[in-house]
Amino acid sequence: MAFHISYKKGPHMATTVYGAKAFIDILKGVIRDVRVTWLLEELGAPYERVVLDPEKEENKTPEYLALNPTGKVPTLVDESITLFESAAICEYLAEKHQKFIPKHGTPEYWKSRQWSYWLVSNLEPQTGRIFACDFFYDQNETTSEIRGLALNVLPRFLSVLESRLATHKFMLGEEFSVADILLTTNLQSIQHTPILGDYPSVKKYYENCTARPAFQKARSQNGLAE
C-alpha cells in the first residue's frame, strides 16, 4: 500500500507529504495537499509525496490514523514532527524556512495568522459547501438550500477581499505568503461558477497567483500517484 513508502527513511526523504488520489476528475488539482506541495515548490525544498487511495481506504488504516487521526489529507511528516491541517502545515513550513510568513512574533506575523484563520474559518466553509453541493451531494431541495445559504454569505467575505486586493497585490501587501496559498486554493473551489465575475480584483489576484510556476507544478501532480 502507498503509505508504506513513508517508512523508507533516508536523507533525501526528510519531508513527506501525504495526499490523496483523485477518485473523480474534478478533484485533480484541488485536493488539500496541493497547499503543502505548492509551498514546498515555492520554497524549492525537496519532498516526497505519498498518494493514498481513499477508494482502497488507505487513509483509514491504523498506520495512517496513527499519523493523522482524522483520516484526512494532507499530513506532513518532517524530520521529528508529524502534522495535519493544511494551514498549520503551511505555517510550520514557512516558519521553518523563514519565508512566506513574517518574522515570528512581530505584528505582521500576527496579521498573517489573523488572515489565515479568517480564510479557513469564514471563507472556506462557504466555498467548500458550494463545491460539495455541485459535485458531491445529490441534487435535491436540501442541497439547493445549503448552496443558497453559502451563496448568501459569500458576498460578505468576498467584498472584504475585493477591497483589500484592489490596493494590495497579495493578502499581506506586496509579498506572496502562506495566506495567498490558503486564499487561492479556496477560490479554486468556485471556479466552475460565475461568482468572481462580481469581484474583479479578486479574479485578477486569482489569475496572478495561479500563474505562478510553483502552483502549476503542484496542481498538475495533485491527485495523481506518481
Q: Are the CB atoms for 224 and 22 separated by under 8 Å? A: yes
Smallest gap from residue 90 Cβ to ligand GSH (A): 9
User: C-beta of 96: minimal distance to ligand GSH in Å?
Assistant: 18
Does 184 bind ligand GSH (CB under 6 A)? Our answer is: no
Q: Is 86 in the site for ligand GSH (CB under 6 A)?
A: yes
Cβ neighbours, 10 Å, residue 85: 17
Shortest Å distance, C-beta 184 to ligand GSH: 14
Q: How many residues bind ligand GSH (CB under 6 A)?
A: 11
Which of 72-80, 92-100, 151-159, 203-211 is the region at the interface with ligand GSH (rule: CB under 6 A)?
72-80
- Detail the DSSP E strand segments found in 94-136: none
Asked if residue 155 binds ligand GSH (CB under 6 A), the reply is no
Task: Give helix then strand counts, H and E, for the chain.
Answer: 9, 4
Distances in whole angstroms, Cα of residue 10 to Cα of each of 15, 48, 65, 106: 10, 11, 22, 36
Residues 20-39 touching ligand GSH, rule: CB under 6 A, are 20, 31-32
17: phi then psi, degrees, rounded to nearest 5: -115, 120
List the interface residues with ligand GSH, window 37-66 (CB under 6 A): 54, 59
Residue where the block lists cell 494590495 = 168
CB 133 within 8 A of CB 147: yes
Residue 44 in 3-state DSSP? Answer: coil
Pick the binder of ligand GSH from 85, 95, 134, 175 (CB under 6 A).
85
Which run of H or E residues covers position 49?
A: strand 48-52
Nearer to ligand GSH by Cβ, of 21 and 147: the residue is: 21
Residue 35 C-beta: closest distance to ligand GSH, Å: 7
- Residues 41 and 28: beta-carbon distance below 8 Å: no
Interaction between residue 130 and ligand GSH (CB under 6 A): no
Q: Which residues bind ligand GSH (CB under 6 A)?
A: 20, 31-32, 54, 59, 71-74, 85-86
